[in-house]
Amino acid sequence: MKLEKLPEEFVQAQPVLEKISEHGFEAYFVGGSVRDVLLGREIHDVDIATSAYPEEIKDIFPYTIDVGIEHGTVLVLAGKSEAEHYEITTFRTESKYTDYRRPDHVDFVRDLREDLKRRDFTVNAFACDFEGQIIDLFDGLTDLKERRLTAVGSALERFNEDALRIMRAMRFASTLDFKIEEKTFSAMRERSHLLEKISVERIFIELDKLLLGSEWRNGLTLLIESEAWKYLPDFQDLALKKVLTELSVDFHFKNSEQAWAALLTRFSNIDVKAFLRKWKVSNEFSKYVADLVSAYELENWDLVSLYHFGLEKALLVDELKIAFGRDIDRERAVFINDQLQIHDKSEIVIAGKDLMDEFSLKPGPELGKILKTIEEQIVKNELKNEQIAILTEVKKMLELEK
């Protein structure tokens, strides 16, 4: 099979492959980029594989960086822009995967087949030369047509080599709307316990992409049916089932925070921050998700809660409430937000220094308490966010304390 037209990303990298070929070596576009071209999807990364060894690549191109030379990868700087920087990896075979994630060592080879047969799924095992000729050694084109995910060679071996491929399979089921071939799924289920050997950060990335996929229900269903959820930190299958059955069928998550919040609203006895700590996410992400889960429990928005959570989070929460079948006033959040005089304390027209100068106050708890009271009164529209009004109110507060 030959591509009728090379995508722009391949055209731009064409001279690199041609130059390698001119020196007597093979070079191909490989992996997900070829798959995405065949599916008519946007390309994210252009990966190039070659029969040339790393040192030979460095002899061919004047500007290179050793980004993973021990595994055969050299970054070729073919142009000034980052888009013209290409990771070129030598064909290789791999040894045992003691850690179930990376090979103990790799051996460089000249044979394309040897390189492709170590890849995870047939639809990721294509190669494409600089003229657009597709090389399909494992009947990936049939799987692509049938929208089916099949492991290359022995599925048990592929998952034994890299257990993260189990999560990748579920992610592809979500993002590409692929079904899993029977033997491949059976091997996923059999090897799912190996996920305990994989870093939680890597699992999070795959699960996060799964949740944001257009067919996330497929991915979650596979997570349950494969029983892989048992090997994810503090996961509850009942919560997963509730998300599948209780969330509106056509709902798609706006962002990662909303997706994880949706899951966690179905968990029982959940300490959101403690849960996410085990997933080693950033504090910022953890706080955002915790806020969404807390806000989800509120019956209605008022000035104080809208100010505390902000309109962005409020709208994400309202979308979840509606998707879970709760009857809410869809316009209330925007209406309440419009009634707020301030949306952050930095918008208060008077700062602590102004009060210190005006009333000879010193920094400390008393000043902090006054500022907090002012903020609360302005939020509740009990006090205008105007200099004279605030100074008058503070004067009253200080006189009452005398």
Other C-beta atoms lying within 10 Å of the C-beta of residue 362: 7
Q: Which segments in the chain show pLDDT lower than 70? A: 95-104, 402
Q: What is the pLDDT of residue 165?
A: 97
The helix or strand, by DSSP H or E, that contains position 119, with its residue range, turns out to be none
Contact at 8 Å (CB) between 292 and 261?
Answer: yes
Q: What is the pLDDT of residue 7?
A: 95
Q: What is the pLDDT of residue 304?
A: 98
Q: What is the pLDDT of residue 98?
A: 63
Q: What is the pLDDT of residue 101?
A: 56
Q: Whole-angstrom Cα distance, residue 224 to residue 215?
A: 15
Q: What is the pLDDT of residue 399?
A: 86
- What sign has the CA pseudo-torsion 78, 8, 18, 92? positive
* Joined tokens for residue 348: 């208060």
CATH number given to 1-146: 3.30.460.10
The three-point CA angle 194-106-162 to 5° equals 15
Q: Whole-angstrom Cα distance, residue 29 to residue 10?
A: 8
Q: What is the pLDDT of residue 71?
A: 87
CATH of 346-401, one of 2.60.40, 1.20.1070, 1.10.246, 3.40.720: 1.10.246
| One-character DSSP codes across 23-87 | TT--EEEETHHHHHHHHTPPP---EEEESS-HHHHHHH-SSEEEEEGGGTEEEEE-SSSGGGEEE
Q: Whole-angstrom Cα distance, residue 192 to residue 347?
A: 52
Backbone φ and ψ for 127, nearest 5 degrees, come out as -130, 150
% of the chain at pLDDT higher than 90 = 91
Q: What is the pLDDT of residue 110?
A: 96
Q: Which residues are annotated as a binding site?
A: 32, 35, 45, 47, 119, 162, 165, 168, 171
Q: Whole-angstrom Cα distance, residue 220 to residue 243?
A: 9
> Class of 147-232 per CATH?
mainly alpha
Q: What is the pLDDT of residue 100?
A: 60
Check whether domain 249-340 has CATH 3.40.190.10, yes or no: no
Q: Which residues are annotated as a binding site for ATP?
A: 32, 35, 119, 162, 165, 168, 171
Q: What is the pLDDT of residue 95?
A: 57
Q: Which residues are annotated as a binding site for Mg(2+)?
A: 45, 47
Q: Do you know the residue count of the chain? A: 402
| One-character DSSP codes across 277-324 | HHTT--HHHHHHHHHHHHHHT-SS--HHHHHHH-HHHHHHHHHHHHHT
Contact at 8 Å (CB) between 152 and 117?
Answer: yes
* Joined tokens for residue 158: 């592929």
Domain assignments of the chain as residue spans, ordered by start: 1-146, 147-232, 249-340, 346-401
Smallest CA-to-CA distance from 264 within 285, 295, 243, 233 is with: 243
Q: Which residues are annotated as a binding site for CTP?
A: 32, 35, 119, 162, 165, 168, 171
